[in-house]
Structure 1
Amino acid sequence: MDNITKTPVYTTAAAAMHCEQQQRLCEALSGDGLIVLPGYQKMQLQHDMAALFWQEANFLWLTGVTYPGWVVLIDVATATTVLVRPDLTEVEQLFEGSLSDGEAIHVSGATEVISRAELRERVNAARTKGQILYVLKPETAHELGMQPNPAHRQLLDELQLSDGDYHDITPVLAKVRACKTQAELERITRAIAVSCDSFNAISSAIAQYASEAEITADMTRDFIRAGGRHAYDPIVAGGVHATVLHYDRPTTETLRKDQAVLIDVGAHIDGYNADITRTFYNDAIVDSNVRAAIQRVTETQRHMISFIQPGGSIREFFQRVDDSMMQVLVDLGWLHSGQKDQLSRYFPHAIGHGLGADVHEWFGGYDTFQPGMVLTVEPGIYDAVREIGVRIEDDILVTDRGTENLSIEAELGS
């Protein structure tokens, strides 16, 4: 069925937040220059059907525009923002819907909306005057086999820019985005609250769920009813499925009551994300080895959160985490104390990442934790032979005095 996209409702609070973020970025760059950033393009799913669209996070952070094909132009010296509308055919507008100039200005705080032809003219004029052009360097194929959205490369080709014609703004954007404003924290907190409510509904009825698919369906319903969607493909994994880190193929097979169910899910609401994991089990029935693994990982995760302090070394935090995870595996009998070189065999991922407009954000090049950072703490251990996969993940805000666990309301279950 072909659907016309409904026009979203925007608020002046959204424009105020994005204007503040545009200003922060310009202050971080200083001097004279022109920022040129594209939103993502639609990607083909099959034939004449597009894949579910996700906006490029930096573009979304700066503008709030959720439609594909737009470009933002920001004068660094004045922090003046201009949006560039896509050239849409009548057929594209009929099938996909469109965003009016007024709506785009209303959400982003931009001063005007121009055409692609005007974009090319303004960029050429900036180059003639010797202004610095700040652009996101196009991404390359990911090590997991994913291909990047072509929007950045297409924009460079359209503007006839080679690598030496622009400055890569990626590290500056990452540093500015690493510490959240109050408006951003309010949106992150709402996404987390919606996620916690859904987790608690599942936890209270976990014994009644027959399959991974049933759990996934109910959490999907919860997020949509709250005006959001999944921040990433939901991971609902029973038994050995939990040993696949990004298991995203929930089945209708009956869940075994003597095994745990790992649920890694987060809501995406108003442009910001949650990322929470719980490993639920039936204490009266579950295998004792599974119970022991969950209890040790849970205890250790709480201890790890206490390692995070404003001004504390990020590198030392990661080192202390590895030591703690090694002790967990020794206590469980999975490794001996002299086998630290085998740690990644059972703990193969990082302890956490930044969280915000992207689910996985950088720490912005900071060496120490800064107030306003939001990060995940997610220790996990996995062994397909033992059919045990355990992960506990919370979303942590770094404050002036310490930390706040934003997702603590999501019950751990038993």
Structure 2
Amino acid sequence: MSRIFSLLVVLILTTAWSISASDNIPKDELALRYQTLAAAMPDNAVTLLFSGEEKNRSNDIQWPFRQSNEINYFTGSTKRQTSFALVKDGSKVTTVIFAQEADPTFETWIGRISDFDTIKEATGVDLVISAAEMPDFLSALMNGRAWDADRYAPARFPSFYRAVRNTEATIWLSLGRYRDTDSTSTPALVYAEKVKQNFPDIAVRNITPVINDMREIKSPWELKQLQDAIDITVEAQKEAMKRVVTANHEYQVEATIEFTFRDKGACCPSYPSIVASGNNATVLHYDENNDIIKRDQLLLTDVGAELNYYAADTTRTYPASGKFSEAQAAIYNAVLDGQTQAIASVKQGIIAQELEAIANQTMGKHLLALGLIEKNERDQVELYYLHGLSHTIGLDVHDTWETDLELRPNMVITVEPGLYVRKDDVFNSDVFKEMSETAQAMVRENIEKYEGIGVRIEDDILVQENSYVNMSVGAPRTIADIEAFMAQ
């Protein structure tokens, strides 16, 4: 599908409206999103987006509810059971929110429900209707009749109904970027099946690529949310560097980080915090955070705060003692050089694979000098460099991104090279086995010095036309800066 947009009727299922969230997303910001989406829609089309669902933790306890990103993006809702529709009747656009009516019992147990006038004022939509009317609305839309109390009123969307009769209407649903025949049932997939059964002559299309393309480019308001989340994360990284000097366990540093998030106004971590000491730092998504911290080891903290649904993501690696050993510094400087060169190359028009190659080649020079590889070739570097270089951030910590396309201004990406020395994995790899005997002997001799060292350095980078902005620059990054900060 084209990266240009197509259409939208956004149906959100949420049972309470979040005043604070809709206040946080300015009305003109929401209006621009509606306009952008509607401008890309064909005439006589509707897109439906469904609310996030509650997730059970255990027995009768639920995880804290988190609204789906798409619903939050188009409405500001953070609560259960809100629905939003944007319909194109011919070329005329109508936006509708379906919201829960007042319910004293619900408000006693869960919280206040906003009245419809408040919701309409906060979002600027055309209509706010009871959630109980949503099935009627959809049925009326497809059958050319009025959905409201006046059953004899003319159809509100006559052009769309004519398109339904002529098999020219389209329904767009968020079916996901990655799909297969074993996809888990979601509200969108269930609704798509119903449409196919009852209206087999109506086309059902996937709106996800359209929304993803919108979300890749951040507005000034979104950049402000991201910068605030990143600033909080930077403060947490600095607090962690202070705490590790006296901490005995990884979880004590984790507690310091996540206290800082909440203390500075973030709701929560944007993903499970990684606080990994020693060999644990060579486990990419280590999240147990329970081990004893030894003074002669490094600590890797890969963490991010979430603020107003926007996710930060930074990583720092630093010595628990406050001072890098010679071996630790050698691996650290290899990663730092790779990251520095990759960041310096960020600008409009470059693609992720080019940045990846720069980091790989740069770190390879260091690995070659340390006697850990035989040749500065990609597959040999990847004996130690075990993951990709970049992803976007936004409403998701791994936000929407087509990585084979050029970077565009106002995208925000991470740049996060890493090296992880796991000698058993190296020795067991086909790449190592294909080295010459001399090279194998060299690697076996040199790797002992660096065994168990894991280093990752990650910053959040704003893409500009001919340059970049490091949004997380405030967290100490060079060896000199880290040691000086920790010496305080």
Q: Structure 2 length normalisation: TM-score?
A: 0.75
CA separation of 1:117/1:89 partners in 2, compared to 1, >3 Å: closer, same or farther? farther
Q: Which residue is 1:403 aligned to?
A: 468
Deviates more, 1:160-169 or 1:61-70: 160-169
Whether 1:224 and 2:262 are equivalent positions in the alignment is yes
* Aligned partner of 1:26 among 35, 38, 55: 38
Please give the root-mean-square deviation of Cα atoms over the aligned residues, in Å.
3.2
Q: Does the 8 Å CA contact 1:194/1:267 hold for their aligned counterparts?
A: yes
- The 1-side partners of 2:51 and 2:332 are apart by 41
Deviates more, 1:170-179 or 1:102-111: 102-111
Q: Which residue is 1:56 aligned to?
A: 68
CA separation of 1:245/1:80 partners in 2, compared to 1, >3 Å: closer, same or farther? farther
Structure 2 residues without counterparts, runs of 5 or longer: 1-15, 144-159, 424-450, 484-488
* Aligned partner of 2:328 among 270, 290, 297: 290
Q: Which residue is 1:124 aligned to?
A: 142
1:2-401 equivalence runs, <5 A = 9=20, 10-11=22-23, 14-76=26-88, 77-85=91-99, 94-97=108-111, 99-102=113-116, 103-114=118-129, 115=131, 116-125=134-143, 126=160, 128=164, 130-138=168-176, 150-156=186-192, 165-228=203-266, 229-251=268-290, 253-282=291-320, 286-337=324-375, 340-364=378-402, 367-385=405-423, 386-401=451-466
SS of residue paired to 2:462 = strand
Structure number, greater radius of gyration: 2
Q: Does the 8 Å CA contact 1:397/1:406 hold for their aligned counterparts?
A: yes
CA separation of 1:124/1:307 partners in 2, compared to 1, >3 Å: closer, same or farther? same
Q: Which residue is 2:435 aligned to?
A: none
- The 2-side partners of 1:241 and 1:83 are apart by 47
Residue identity matched to 2:123: S
CA separation of 1:317/1:47 partners in 2, compared to 1, >3 Å: closer, same or farther? same
Structure 1 residues without counterparts, runs of 5 or longer: none
Q: Shift of the alpha carbon at 1:280? A: 1.3
- The 2-side partners of 1:399 and 1:138 are apart by 28
CA separation of 1:39/1:112 partners in 2, compared to 1, >3 Å: closer, same or farther? same
SS of residue paired to 1:118 = helix
SS of residue paired to 1:345 = coil
Q: State the number of aligned residues.
A: 407
- The 2-side partners of 1:99 and 1:160 are apart by 35
Q: Shift of the alpha carbon at 1:339? A: 5.4
Percentage identity across paired residues of the two chains: 25
Structure with the bigger RCO (C-alpha within 8 Å, sep 6+) is 1
Q: Shift of the alpha carbon at 1:117? A: 2.1
Q: Which residue is 2:427 aligned to?
A: none
Q: Shift of the alpha carbon at 1:156? A: 3.6
Q: Shift of the alpha carbon at 1:268? A: 0.6
Q: Deviations over 1:327-350 (max 9, x none)?
A: 343333332216532443322221
- The 2-side partners of 1:180 and 1:171 are apart by 16
- The 2-side partners of 1:390 and 1:343 are apart by 14
CA separation of 1:365/1:299 partners in 2, compared to 1, >3 Å: closer, same or farther? closer
Q: Shift of the alpha carbon at 1:381? A: 1.4
- The 1-side partners of 2:236 and 2:400 are apart by 27
SS of residue paired to 2:245 = helix
